[in-house]
Amino acid sequence: MSVIETSYAARSEPARIKDDLANAGELLIDDTDEIDYILCGRGRRAMFERKTATDLINSFLEANEATGESRAIAQLRRMAGETDENTICCWLIEGHIRCDRNGYTQVENQKRKVPFNAVDNLLLLAQRFGFYVVRSASIAHTAARMIAVAESWIQVGEKSPIIMLPKAPDPQLRTLMTFPGVGVKGAQRALKGTTLRDVLHDLVHKNSNGFSTSIGRKIQAFLDGPTYSTRD
């Protein structure tokens, strides 16, 4: 029996997904369209912003004329403002995003003139905002993915495959955990008794600082790698 008691779905979202969610508990339609989906149970909420792979790229490229901020980042900020100790925010990416042989992004077999690293950095930014990045192979799998993530959050403390972070983890931990191959536990070990500044200093000077040799090399390559700006 599902622990999800009530789900909210934006009216503009696909009927197929809403029908699947209705099987997991009461489904209510939200006319504001501010958040795509909210799954609730036992006083906890899991909020989802659903993006097809194509929409993810488009929202990254589209900028607010007044602020210059991309639509994707504006959405991250808005949803992050809705969180509390009983709420998680998720970006659900529906469809496939690949890197072609030239380092550009390929979405649903269509090549886009967007460096793959730029898209990956956007997903890393979502994690720094405290979001879970959830993948769905297609619309047929989306409801099941949301239900699985929401149930894991609602049952946290019982049996959850997801590592749950504190409400506001140390910003140094949050930064280091997004580096290649590090993760939450690796960042916690590396920062024990020291600071991010010292960890990065050692890595820049080719000292793996407690990381395995292979991970140390990945981080060093990441630190030495090129940067990308959306502006000329």
Q: Give 76-104 pLDDT, tens digit per residue.
A: 888 888 888 889 999 999 998 988 888 89
**Residue 230: predicted pLDDT:** 42
Residue 206: pLDDT band by 50, 70, 90 thresholds?
Answer: low
Do 106 and 72 have their domain in common? yes
Choosing from 127, 154, 181, the residue where a domain stops is 154
Do 135 and 69 have their domain in common? yes
**Residue 161: predicted pLDDT:** 45
Query: In this predicted model, which residue has the larger pLDDT, 201 or 91?
Result: 91
CA distances from 154 to 45, 73, 89, 160, 163 (A): 7, 27, 13, 9, 13
* C-alpha neighbours within 13 Å on the C-beta side of residue 62: 10
Do 117 and 175 have their domain in common? no
pLDDT at 21 over 60: yes
From the list 129, 130, 152, 135, the residue with the least C-alpha distance to 44 is: 152
The two three-digit tokens of residue 38, written as one number: 């909210």
**Residue 160: predicted pLDDT:** 43
> What CATH number does the domain containing 79 carry?
3.40.50.10130
129-159: b (≥16 Cβ within 10 Å) or e: bbbbebebeeeeebbebbbebbbbbbeeeee
50 membership: H or E segment, kind and range: strand 44-52
Residue 10 and residue 38: Cα distance in Å, rounded?
A: 9
In a domain, 87, yes or no: yes
Query: pLDDT for 150-173, tens place per residue?
Result: 998 888 733 344 444 444 457 777
**Residue 11: predicted pLDDT:** 93
Please state the domain count of the chain: 2
Mean pLDDT along residues 26-47: 90
**Residue 207: predicted pLDDT:** 67
Mean pLDDT along residues 217-226: 73
Query: In this predicted model, which residue has the larger pLDDT, 156 or 141?
Result: 141
Do 140 and 34 have their domain in common? yes
In a domain, 163, yes or no: no
Mean pLDDT along residues 12-20: 95
pLDDT at 22 over 90: yes
The domain of 49 spans 6-154
Residues 6 or more apart whose CB falls under 8 angstroms from that of 51 comprise: 59, 91, 92, 93, 94
What does the mean pLDDT of the chain come to? Answer: 83
**Residue 158: predicted pLDDT:** 39
Do 86 and 119 have their domain in common? yes
**Residue 134: predicted pLDDT:** 92
Do 194 and 132 have their domain in common? no
In a domain, 216, yes or no: yes
Do 108 and 44 have their domain in common? yes
In a domain, 229, yes or no: no
Choosing from 104, 125, 154, the residue where a domain stops is 154
Do 123 and 51 have their domain in common? yes
Do 107 and 185 have their domain in common? no
Do 31 and 140 have their domain in common? yes
Do 14 and 121 have their domain in common? yes
Query: pLDDT for 49-69, tens place per residue?
Result: 999 999 999 998 898 777 788
**Residue 202: predicted pLDDT:** 80
**Residue 168: predicted pLDDT:** 46
* C-alpha neighbours within 13 Å on the C-beta side of residue 68: 4
In a domain, 160, yes or no: no
Residue 223 and residue 108: Cα distance in Å, rounded?
A: 30
Do 135 and 195 have their domain in common? no
pLDDT at 209 over 90: no
Residue 186 and residue 80: Cα distance in Å, rounded?
A: 25
